[in-house]
């Protein structure tokens, strides 16, 4: 082969590789339209002469613009706004009471659904014909947006009002199911449905399952409509969707934080810090007396990379007021590779169990039972974990299989 021929061959080989990479890129490109976008493209004529109420937060965006602002610009008669935990515009931290008020951008009334009143009353719903519910969930039973959805649907039914749930992805994926199924005696605002901790449903699917399984606490007729997404598939985690992450709450600034949260939120049921008041909430955990020593390296047996660390939580307005361990130097761990694990709930639970064993002064709180949804977590706590030889697997009980069977009747994707 001559020198010139060799150069030509290499050029053709290079161009072929570029073409192949281009084809591959085109093949993996996804086009997901969330329910709100489908509403704008296909269903506006069905609401343009009806009085609308919006149950939303900062995640209710289409192409970067809040749905409220888009609807107002289109002349849709929006009459009232309803704020779940963290507020309609998302300026309040976890657990902060939301007050009634006015939306500064539009002058519309904002009614709080996270305070003394968690269920809209008749006065709030006066003159409303349709409620649009659009909030990005994270797929955890104890994330309060799904409870707000339940109360809104019940209140709307009692006033003869339609509720449209504008569906969005389950960031954990639609196939990830894990955790104990909530038992009735542990029902609370962080657990209102008999579902596992990681339920694998979108909010639209959960709303329909609650209707089909008679989980709504009302005798009135439920007038529910789900506006499904297009393009989303059950095996997609958030990073597969190519959608922009808008924090659904201030302490979940990235998907990685939200992915870890399904497991490390259980630290809220202890006196240990779950990382609020730092830049690593739900990825950094610890306490004053944590003594992890060399044991931390044993996590490598399970593919988990933990870094021993020290941190001092501080109060952050709008994000973490009076966090646990505020102003104290805490000893703990930083979870470095959360996104690499298929079962973050199990790993988070095991990390809680392990860190509590290494923290002599730390205590469990009754709140842990509400998060777990069962007292069965006591058995997990009593049994020490041997990272050298033990599997991390947890038996979630037969109720999980029963849930999976029922759930299959309500899947939209």
pLDDT tens figures, 134-188: 999 999 999 999 999 999 999 999 999 999 999 999 999 999 999 999 999 999 9
Evaluate whether residue 217 is within a structural domain: yes
Do 223 and 79 belong to one domain? yes
CATH number of the domain at 311, please.
3.90.1150.140
**3-class secondary structure per residue, 14-45:** HHHHHHHHHHHHHHHCCCCECHHHHHHHHCHH
Evaluate whether residue 193 is within a structural domain: yes
pLDDT tens figures, 215-243: 999 999 999 999 999 999 999 999 999 99
Do 189 and 263 belong to one domain? no
Do 119 and 171 belong to one domain? yes
Helix, strand, coil percentages in the chain from 3-state DSSP, rounded to 5: 35, 15, 50
CB distance 247 to 186 below 8 Å: no
Do 80 and 203 belong to one domain? yes
Number of folded domains that form the chain? 2
Q: What is the span of the domain harbouring residue 148? A: 35-246
Structure tokens at 232: 């989303």
End-of-domain residue from the set 246, 279, 313: 246
Evaluate whether residue 82 is within a structural domain: yes
What is the pairing mode between strands 284-287 and 330-335?
antiparallel
pLDDT at 399 over 60: yes
Do 364 and 292 belong to one domain? yes
Do 111 and 216 belong to one domain? yes
Going by C-alpha positions, the residue among 174, 330, 195, 341 that lies closest to residue 267 is 330
End-of-domain residue from the set 246, 266, 293: 246
CB distance 178 to 396 below 8 Å: yes
Evaluate whether residue 2 is within a structural domain: no
Do 234 and 270 belong to one domain? no
End-of-domain residue from the set 195, 218, 246: 246
Evaluate whether residue 387 is within a structural domain: no
pLDDT tens figures, 12-28: 445 554 544 554 445 47
Evaluate whether residue 1 is within a structural domain: no
Do 225 and 269 belong to one domain? no
Q: How much is the pLDDT for 24?
A: 46
Q: Specify whether the backbone of 60 is left (phi greater than 0), alpha (psi in -120 to 50) or beta.
A: beta
């Amino acid at each position: 082969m001559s020198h010139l021929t060799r150069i030509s061959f290499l050029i053709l080989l290079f161009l072929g590789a570029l073409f192949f990479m281009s084809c591959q890129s085109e093949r993996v490109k996804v086009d997901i339209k969330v329910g709100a976008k489908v509403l704008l493209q296909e269903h506006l004529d069905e609401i343009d002469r009806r009085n609308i109420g919006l149950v939303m937060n900062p995640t209710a965006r289409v192409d970067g613009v809040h749905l409220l602002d888009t609807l107002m610009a289109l002349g849709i008669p929006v009459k009232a706004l309803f704020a779940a935990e963290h507020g309609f515009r998302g300026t309040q931290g976890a657990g902060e009471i939301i007050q009634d008020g006015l939306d500064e951008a539009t002058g519309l009334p904002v009614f709080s659904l996270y305070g003394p009143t968690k269920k809209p009353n008749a006065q709030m719903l006066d003159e409303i014909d349709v409620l649009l519910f659009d909030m990005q969930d994270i797929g955890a039973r104890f994330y309060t947006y799904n409870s707000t959805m339940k109360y809104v649907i019940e209140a709307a039914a009692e006033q003869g009002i339609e509720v449209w749930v504008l569906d969005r992805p389950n960031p954990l994926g639609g196939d990830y199911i894990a955790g104990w199924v909530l038992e009735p005696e542990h029902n609370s605002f962080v657990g209102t449905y008999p579902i596992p901790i990681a339920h694998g449903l979108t909010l639209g699917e959960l709303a329909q399952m609650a209707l089909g399984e008679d989980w709504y606490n009302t005798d009135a007729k439920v007038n529910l409509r789900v506006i499904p997404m297009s393009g989303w598939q059950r095996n997609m985690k958030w990073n597969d969707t190519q959608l922009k992450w808008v924090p659904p709450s201030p302490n979940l600034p990235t998907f990685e934080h939200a992915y870890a949260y399904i497991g490390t939120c259980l630290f809220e049921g202890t006196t240990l810090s779950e990382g609020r008041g730092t830049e690593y909430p739900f990825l950094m955990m610890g306490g004053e007396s944590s003594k992890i020593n060399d044991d931390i390296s044993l996590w490598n047996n399970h593919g988990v990379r933990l870094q021993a660390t020290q941190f001092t939580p501080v109060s952050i307005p709008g994000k973490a007021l009076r966090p646990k361990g505020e102003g104290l130097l805490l000893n703990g761990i930083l979870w470095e590779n959360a996104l690499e694990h298929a079962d973050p709930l199990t790993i988070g639970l095991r990390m809680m169990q392990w860190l509590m064993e290494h923290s002599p002064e730390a205590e469990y709180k009754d709140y842990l039972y509400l998060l777990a949804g069962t007292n069965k977590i006591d058995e997990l706590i009593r049994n020490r974990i041997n990272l050298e030889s033990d599997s991390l697997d947890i038996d979630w009980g037969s109720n999980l299989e029963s849930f999976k069977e029922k759930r299959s009747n309500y899947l939209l994707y």
